[in-house]
Amino acid sequence: MQLRAVHKPIRQNRQDGLVPLGRSTRRQLDRPRPPPPPRLPALVRSRCHLHYSPSASTLVAAAREMLAMLGAIPPLVAMLDESDGGGGGEEMVAAALYALLNLGIGNDTNKAAIVQAGAVHKMLRIAEGASGDLTEALVANFLCLSALDANKPIIG
């Protein structure tokens, strides 16, 4: 059984020729609708818990996890070798150390991935000739990574 729309003539009482339809007019209904907002892939929606009203800390934690899943940890660990070249290498190493620290905060999976990528041995090599700023970044990273029990035997 197929339903058909029945069009009945509507009495127009307005001078502008528009037919009132509640709060909108026929002219407003004929306008094209704006496109819907882009939908995130299902993995991002599930990881970020966007179907709920997330708090900022939930989004930050999800972003840390997503960055690690996208492969951000190995290149950051590789940047720890740049201290030998000079020319701003120390600043780049400090930035890489703080980025690794940020990824490891509150995420045990990322802490394990950072250690498995070989960061501990590179950080120990950097510590031998580190200045004040690098020393602070190294200590913060060692403290963060050692919070995971599985990392303690490797860190020592």
Per-residue pLDDT of the chain (156 residues; tens, 9 = 90+): 566 655 555 555 555 555 555 555 555 556 676 666 666 555 454 545 444 556 778 888 888 888 888 999 999 999 998 765 555 688 899 999 999 999 999 889 999 999 999 999 999 999 888 888 889 999 999 999 999 888 888 887
Domain boundaries, the chain: 40-70, 72-155
SS3 readout for 55-98: CHHHHHHHHHHHHHHCCCHHHHHHHHHHHHCCCCHHHHHHHHHH
Structure pTM?
A: 0.62
In single-letter form, the type of residue at position 125 comes to R
State how far the Cα of 117 lies from the Cα of 96, in Å rounded to an integer: 13
